[in-house]
Amino acid sequence: MVQLLQHLILSIAVFLFEASHGTAFPAYGSLGGLSERQLEEIVPNLRPRVPPPPPGPPAFTGAKLVDDAAHPWRAARKNDIRGPCPGLNTLASHGYLPRDGVASPVQIIEAVQEAFNMENFAARFTTYAAHLVDGNPITDLISIGEKTRKTGPDPPSPAIVGGISNHGTFEGDASMTRGDAFFGDNHSLNEPLFEQFKDFSNRYGDGFYNLTVAAELRHQRILQSMATNPEFSIMGLRHITVFAEAAFPLNIFVDGRTDKPQHLPLADAENFFKDMRFPRGFFRASAPVSSEGVESVFTAHPVPAGRNVGVNNFVPDNRLGGIFDFCLFYTQFINTTIRGLYPNPTGVLRRNLDINLKFMFESLGPTPPCPQVFPWGEN
Ligand code: HEM
């Protein structure tokens, strides 16, 4: 019944999108959740691409100037897409990613490695997890979120053009600087929340966003969502990213020449989060980094995976795994989340999904937590 309703809403959304925009389905539009009939209409009009393998780590992984002459900051133009991730927004505004905010997984991995020195496995895992749920597997494109300013009528369904802003796939609740989807805008910087970010950094970090601030602010946002959002949920992938994303800025947004590791000055945080811009003359980290420190963020306030059943009624729920059950998370992500979005893919869609699933599995590292899972069988 719920599925039927979802299909109906998506059909109306596709129809409205085409009617209001007078254009075909966008090449970056997510295909997850579309009905077989919709896929039959849309897929033949897309230009298919065989997904190329991801890049390995770069040869040089030291600090270097990345706010350089070849990558000048430019404000997003009216049709450029920006979204919930301050890292990807910044890369698009400096031209490390296409400035329109639409990219292939390989472009994203190259950009986060080159400009942020993001560690190769982390870059691959994050990118393929996002692409599988929010990207277009036929065209090999994904958008980094929502439009900055809408020109015509609002896109009718974020599931179609939302890219990584799509709620409940990768994007989730209790973000530090974005509101919960339940309250409306889940992708733009939320001013009161950014004020809270600064307030916590002043109170617990003496003007820096550091590990203590990350742990306290992370918990505060979880408590706020528990107390106000009846649909609050941190399960599966979100139970991992909600903590990892609190640690990212400590490692990735801190200048590589620093003598205070894991201390992000508030002025620099403001550059990234508000202006989507490197601090002037920014050097990337001096060694490959990702979410170092995430364990102490979690152990300071160990909230289990779970969800609200009504406001202020948080129920632990580990069905989709979480931060300490990575094999269960991976298995459920493939068998529940991805198979739910694509119950019965065929042809090029199935081929490209299989390729991306293999890339995601290989990103789990040299010793993966469990064997590869094949949602539709092995061939
Ligand atoms: C590798 C590809 C990446 C993808 C696909 C990606 C995707 C996302 C998505 C979907 C969100 C929204 C999650 C939410 O609901 O809060 C997000 C948030 C975030 N991302 Fe990224 N990201 C990537 C790389 C990076 C990098 C390199 C940084 C650098 C610091 C970064 C920093 C963050 C932070 C701090 C947040 C949380 C914002 C908040 O809580 O207010 N991400 N990212």
Please tell me whether residues 247 and 135 are part of one structural domain. Answer: no
What is the distance in A from the centroid of ligand 1 to the CA of 213?
A: 18
Helix 105-116 vs helix 120-134: angle between axes, to the nearest 10 degrees? 150
What is the distance in A from the centroid of ligand 1 to the CA of 344?
A: 30
In a domain, 376, yes or no: yes
Q: Look at ligand 1, atom 31, and give the residue with the nearest C-alpha.
A: 87
Q: Are 21 and 10 in contact (CB under 8 A)?
A: no
d(CA 216, CA 214): 6
Per-residue model confidence (pLDDT) at position 161: 61
CATH code, domain carrying 315? 1.10.489.10
Please tell me whether residues 112 and 252 are part of one structural domain. Answer: no
Please tell me whether residues 255 and 298 are part of one structural domain. Answer: yes
Please tell me whether residues 110 and 55 are part of one structural domain. Answer: yes
Q: For 265-285, how does the pLDDT look when each residue is reduced to its tens digit (9 = 90+)?
A: 999 999 999 999 999 999 999
Q: 16: how many CB neighbours lie within 10 A of its CB?
A: 16
Please tell me whether residues 208 and 68 are part of one structural domain. Answer: no
In a domain, 330, yes or no: no
pLDDT along the chain (379 residues), means of 10: 44 48 77 95 97 98 98 96 97 98 99 99 98 98 72 41 90 97 95 98 98 98 98 98 98 98 98 98 98 98 98 98 96 98 97 98 96 93
* AA identity, residue 115: A
Residue listed under structure tokens 């990702």:
290
Q: 313: how many CB neighbours lie within 10 A of its CB?
A: 11
Q: Which of 166, 200, 245 most suits a substitution to test ligand 1, by most atoms within 8 Å of the C-beta?
A: 245
Please tell me whether residues 234 and 126 are part of one structural domain. Answer: no
Q: Look at ligand 1, atom 34, and give the residue with the nearest C-alpha.
A: 245
Nearest of 32, 154, 27, 45 to residue 101 by alpha carbon = 27
The DSSP code sequence of 72-114 is ---PPPTT-EE-S-HHHHHHHHTTSS-TTSEE-HHHHHHHHHH
Per-residue model confidence (pLDDT) at position 148: 40
- CA-based torsion, 36, 40, 44, 45: positive or negative: negative
Number of domains in the chain: 2
Per-residue model confidence (pLDDT) at position 157: 43
Q: Label residue 17 exposed, middle or buried (CB < 10 Å: 0-12, 13-18, 19+).
A: buried
Q: Look at ligand 1, atom 22, and give the residue with the nearest C-alpha.
A: 85
Q: Which residues line ligand 1 (CB under 6 A)?
A: 84-88, 108, 112, 116, 118, 123, 126-127, 130, 164, 170-172, 175-178, 241, 245, 248-249, 252-253
Q: Strand, helix or coil at 140?
A: coil
Range of the domain at 184: 172-324
Residue 25 phi, psi dihedral angles, 5° rounding = -55, 130
Structure token digits, residue 263? 């201390």
In a domain, 331, yes or no: no
Structure token digits, residue 306? 């779970």
| DSSP 8-state class, residue 315 | E
Q: Are 132 and 126 in contact (CB under 8 A)?
A: no
Please tell me whether residues 87 and 186 are part of one structural domain. Answer: no
Residue 33 phi, psi dihedral angles, 5° rounding = 90, -5
In a domain, 302, yes or no: yes
Please tell me whether residues 3 and 141 are part of one structural domain. Answer: yes
Per-residue model confidence (pLDDT) at position 147: 54
Please tell me whether residues 42 and 150 are part of one structural domain. Answer: yes
d(CA 288, CA 33): 35
In a domain, 212, yes or no: yes
Neighbouring residues of 258: CB distance < 8 A, sequence distance ≥ 6: none
CA dihedral 315, 319, 322, 325 (to 10 degrees): 130
Residue listed under structure tokens 């300013």:
149
Per-residue model confidence (pLDDT) at position 361: 98
Please tell me whether residues 28 and 165 are part of one structural domain. Answer: yes
d(CA 250, CA 204): 14
Per-residue model confidence (pLDDT) at position 324: 87
In a domain, 1, yes or no: yes
In a domain, 334, yes or no: no
In a domain, 333, yes or no: no
Please tell me whether residues 358 and 276 are part of one structural domain. Answer: no
What is the atom index within ligand 1 of the atom nearest the CA of 241?
Answer: 13
Residue listed under structure tokens 């068998």:
335
Please tell me whether residues 154 and 179 are part of one structural domain. Answer: no
| DSSP 8-state class, residue 162 | -
Domain end, chosen from 298, 324, 350, is at: 324
